[in-house]
Amino acid sequence: MTREPSVIVIGAGMSGICMAVKLKQAGITDFTVLEKGGDVGGTWRDNTYPGLRCDVPSAFYQYTFDRNPNWSHFFSDGAEIHEYFRRTADRFGIRDHIELNTEVTDARFTDGRWHVRTGDGRTRQADFLVGATGVLHHPVVPDIPGLDTFEGTTFHTARWDHSASLAGKRVAVIGTGSTGVQIVTALAGEVPELVLFQRTPQWVLPVPNWRNDPLTRALRRRFPALTRLEYRAIEQIFSVLVAGMVRDGWQRKLLSRLCELNLRTVRDKRLREALTPDYQAMCKRLVMSPNFYRAVRRPGVRLVTDAIDHVEPRGVVTADGTLHEVDVLALATGFDSHAYLRPIEMVGPTGRTLAEAWADGPKAYRTVALPEFPNFFLLMGPHSPVGNFSLVPIAEVQADYALTWIEAWRRGEYTAAAPSREATERYNAELRAAMPDTVWASGCQSWYLGKDGLPEVWPFSPHRHAKMLRDRHTGEFDSEFEGVKA
């Protein structure tokens, strides 16, 4: 007997759209995507700061089921990527399944189903729940004394205030990750004074970003096989490079050499020393920019390495007592990468909450499921391969895995299933054992690290992750839960 499942997906970003399309392609029509924002697109909707670009090639940052032959550049800007995801939602007819401005507050598995409550007080029920909330979506505002006393304009870069004109303004950027680097590169020479407050220097790889000419785009449209070939070629290159960079392979040595040569283009010895990291390349997420070092040398751009002591109404005061007067403070201070589903309150059939399950830090079964939370799947969950690799194929692999379980439920093979604690602990023990040998554990502070000081990312190759999820591993799942009829 065939049963028709109902599914609720939390989040309409890249991974949520992916899950929705996969469900529809499988003939499942009873699904709803609950999105807290006013549009689809997730991080590409929220981030609109100057200079925003993806650091993964456009040809590889797209769905295999919706290849775009018309990318304007090798690395596309944020607006173009956002529009791509919006078009995908339209092209595959999933807009009618998406409820915008609908934030999930809690989800409970009772009587064999998920009961999902939203901020408007409504409760929806479904047989399956999929968390597609993403990794970097809770902005971190630094705890700097006096920040609220600043008389100019202040905003986090993920909430860029476009109503605030930068013309003639003195702008300060706090943070030197990819976001800070992109903003400085875009604004250098565009504002009279640009101050970059650097706590930790970054290794920067000078990857060029060429424009895809009309002929190239026309050939891709005429011969779709070219886009498939390009995707697979970049996938293979990234897989080989990333795998060797994580371990101590020739790839890491080559990367380090390229970053060092790029740094040598800064002729000013004092500035070069200030920009030189004291850790290995790739220990933090690698920054890619062909123009950053030129930008920091431009007139009107200042690099400040003294620690920030406090903020006062006129600007930022550093530990040496210097007041840096500015008109705009842009906080490029990143995200809470360990939040995942939180602050959603989740409760499984045994009464165990997500807060209790993750009291010692987020952990999952094979990146996609949680013990004692049946019929629940995660996309971009803990320890997913979210380093310098495209997240789109990762989301597809994880969505396909969730779909195999949903399809098995349709066939009546089980009613409720969740990975066992024992299997989850064995899996996480294997990950922990591999972490000390990775570049992320080589001696730096980064958003990859969890409470235990070990990285919360995938320590092997992306191909190994995909191979792992081709098998449902049914023997590692529990299928008996209180209140659930088999």
**Ramachandran assignment for 337, one of left (phi > 0), alpha (psi -120 to 50 degrees), beta (any other):** alpha
pLDDT tens digits, residue range 348-383?
999 999 999 999 889 999 999 999 999 999 999 999
pLDDT reported for residue 484: 60
Assigned CATH topology for domain 7-138+336-478: FAD/NAD(P)-binding domain (3.50.50)
pLDDT reported for residue 155: 97
Structure tokens belonging to residue 127:
């047989």
pLDDT tens digits, residue range 178-211?
999 999 999 999 999 999 999 999 999 999 999 9
CB 69 within 8 A of CB 47: no
Q: Vertex 152, ends 148 and 155: CA angle to 5°?
A: 65
pLDDT reported for residue 135: 86
State the DSSP H helix or E strand holding residue 270, giving kind and residue range, or none if neither.
helix 269-274
Q: Is the peptide bond before 201 cis (omega within 30 degrees of 0)?
A: no
d(CA 341, CA 352) in angstroms, rounded, equals 15
Structure tokens belonging to residue 117:
């409550």
pLDDT reported for residue 445: 85
d(CA 410, CA 413) in angstroms, rounded, equals 8
d(CA 404, CA 107) in angstroms, rounded, equals 23
pLDDT tens digits, residue range 110-133?
999 999 999 999 999 999 999 999
pLDDT reported for residue 481: 64
In the chain, domain spans: 7-138+336-478, 147-210+218-331
pLDDT tens digits in sequence order for the chain, 486 residues long: 689 999 999 999 999 999 999 999 999 999 999 999 999 999 999 999 999 999 999 999 999 999 999 999 999 999 999 999 999 999 999 999 999 999 999 999 999 999 999 999 999 999 999 999 998 788 999 999 999 999 999 999 999 999 999 999 999 999 999 999 999 999 999 999 999 999 999 999 999 999 999 999 999 999 999 999 999 999 888 877 776 677 777 888 888 999 999 999 999 999 999 999 999 988 888 899 999 999 999 999 999 999 999 999 999 999 999 999 999 999 999 988 788 898 999 999 999 999 999 998 899 999 999 999 999 999 999 999 887 789 999 999 999 999 999 999 999 999 999 999 999 999 999 999 998 888 888 888 888 888 778 888 898 888 899 999 999 999 999 987 655 654
Q: Select from 3.60.20.10, 3.50.50.60, 3.40.50.1110, 3.30.300.20 the CATH code of 147-210+218-331.
A: 3.50.50.60
pLDDT reported for residue 348: 96
Across 271-298, b (16+ Cβ under 10 Å) vs e yields eeeebebebbbbbbbbbbbebbbbbbee
State the CB neighbour count (10 A cutoff) for residue 466: 18
pTM of the model: 0.95
> In a 10 Å sphere around its CB, with 0-12 CB exposed, 13-18 middle and 19+ buried, how is residue 414 labelled?
middle
d(CA 315, CA 308) in angstroms, rounded, equals 11
